[in-house]
Amino acid sequence: MNMNRREAMALMGGLAVSTTLEAQSGPQTVAPPFWKSRLSDVQAAVRGVKKGRARVLVQSAGKRDIHLVTYGEKQNLKGTANYNSACAGMDPASYTRKDGTQKPVVFLLGPVHGNEFDGTVGLMNLIRIAETRKDWREREWKELADNIARCRVLIVPCGNPDGRARCRHDSWVGVDRDTSQRAAMGVMADGTSLEWPIVKRIHPMRGAAVKTLGAYFNDSGVNLMHDEWFDPMAAETRAFLRLAREEAPDFIVSLHARTSDPAILPTAYVPHAVKEKVKELGDRVQRRYAAEGLPHEAGGPVPREDGVAFPPPSFNLTSALHHACGAVTFTHECCRYGSKSGAMTHEQILDVQLLLYDELFKYAVERPVVWMK
């Protein structure tokens, strides 16, 4: 991309939201039946929930339903303060009384970037495992199903239905990078395709300079990973934070996808103890990927101090969710269509996600949270 920083910043003056849909070029890959990434797949899954409960959590900026599927009964662990005040009182249990006997609570937030729908595929298969003990390939996941039953589980299958509706592809396997980038990040009025990280220097993504609004954003041009946390622009953001406050999850995962090896990313501006747990879980997940012959990294993210170098890391949605409820929060990056070692199949991409859940639920059951003095 030939846009420098000054030019990108100059584009921020527009006011009107552009949701112009431009025909996205490139081949449409035929995905296998277990690859359920569409909004219609989410709606069908929600209608089919029998062992859990399903409801509309909130409507998006584009007036599309954002669904919440839950398993296990909500626990009455309410305290006398919000999490921030409880920590100031040197007693997190004043927010939620966790004594190690409660069910673990796991919140899985489906893709807030509409083009990264691989996470929706994984969650569609996870819901079926919760319902039938098998994924949509008819592969049984006995231990995972048992551990789901031991937890309170919150699943938002798609966190950004606006962006997903704007993305006309159902799979990125076999699709060229330029096509996927245009769909993800959008195109400026001069025909320039946006790229990372400049796409994040224009926010909200609005105005006459925007020709095609990328699937990163909701219909108001808000990238939900980078809202205004103290005065949210998006109803979706407010709903995610409210759900975290009300349910007090032990673990929150924000699901994303990239063109590299799968990874659990470090979460900025959270306590060192949280970073250590993210590292420990990340090590387990990467060992599992290696054992299954999947692309993998050496381990989880090494805990480091934030802001040592400039520019500092962002305080993003994953960070904000921790501060709403004290959960161990992290971003998981799946593979959109390949890794450092080459192209990946639909089967491999789904396995990356389901193995994450297998390890996460096992970890949550093995290590109940204790906040009592």
Per-residue pLDDT of 282-312, as tens digits, reads 999 999 999 999 999 999 999 999 999 999 9
The count of domains in the chain is 1
CA distance 219 to 204: 10
pLDDT band at 15 (very low <50, low <70, confident <90, very high): very low
Classify residue 322: in a domain, yes or no: yes
> In the predicted model, what is the mean pLDDT of the chain?
91
Classify residue 226: in a domain, yes or no: yes
Query: Which residues make Cβ contacts (< 8 Å) with residue 87, sequence separation at least 6?
Result: 95, 326
Classify residue 294: in a domain, yes or no: yes
CATH classification at residue 139: 3.40.630.10
Range of the domain at 226: 32-176+215-303+318-366
Classify residue 222: in a domain, yes or no: yes
Identify any residues that bridge with 330 across adjacent strands, giving them in sequence order. 253
pTM score, whole prediction: 0.92
pLDDT above 70 (res 17): no
Q: What is the pLDDT of residues 133-178, one digit of tens each?
A: 999 999 999 999 999 999 999 999 999 999 999 999 999 998 988 9
Q: What is the pLDDT of residues 90-100, one digit of tens each?
A: 999 999 999 99
Q: Write out the two tokens for 231.
A: 């005065």
Of the candidates 330, 327, 317, the one whose C-alpha atom is nearest the C-alpha of residue 245 is 327
Of the candidates 253, 216, 260, 236, the one whose C-alpha atom is nearest the C-alpha of residue 116 is 216
Q: State residue 336's pLDDT score.
A: 81
Classify residue 360: in a domain, yes or no: yes
Q: State residue 55's pLDDT score.
A: 98
Mean pLDDT of 252-274: 96
Classify residue 8: in a domain, yes or no: no
Classify residue 358: in a domain, yes or no: yes
CA distance 34 to 137: 6
CA distance 203 to 9: 10
pLDDT above 50 (res 12): no
pLDDT above 60 (res 185): yes
Classify residue 17: in a domain, yes or no: no
| Cβ count near 35 (within 10 Å) | 25
